[in-house]
Copies of this chain bind each other. A is one copy, B any other.
């Protein structure tokens, strides 16, 4: 099962700046070799379900290892069986309709 997720990891109890923890998560994501795209409120990741979910778990482990006593994460997660669709396909599909609309 192929999945596209949007992942937003929020460490609590680490103060107001969370970019060191987010950078650590980016390293976990990059090390996975999965396609990904960081934006201002999360990171899109796509790939096989188990591989993507292993990345999410590893992010929690790494952020706890950095000293965060508590993490709250928000994930959006999409699967489809009717056809293959990549993250780039999703954006292109909307942009095409914007140009033709």
* Interface residues, chain A, with chain B CB atoms under 8 Å away: 1, 4-6, 8, 10, 12-13, 15-20, 22-24, 26-27, 37-42, 44, 46, 49, 53, 56-57, 60-61, 64, 68-82, 87-88, 90-91, 93-95, 97-98, 101
Contacts and interface: CB of A to CB of B under 8 A. Distances in A.
Given A39-B39, A78-B41, A79-B71, A10 B13 contact: no
Please give the count of copies of this chain that the complex contains.
Answer: 4
Contacts of A72: 10, 76-78
Contact of A19 (B44, B49, B94): B94
Contacts of A82: 13, 16, 69-70
B20 A97 contact: yes
Given A41-B4, A44-B41, A97-B20, A79 B87 contact: no
A13 B16 CA distance: 4
A39 to B, nearest CB: 5
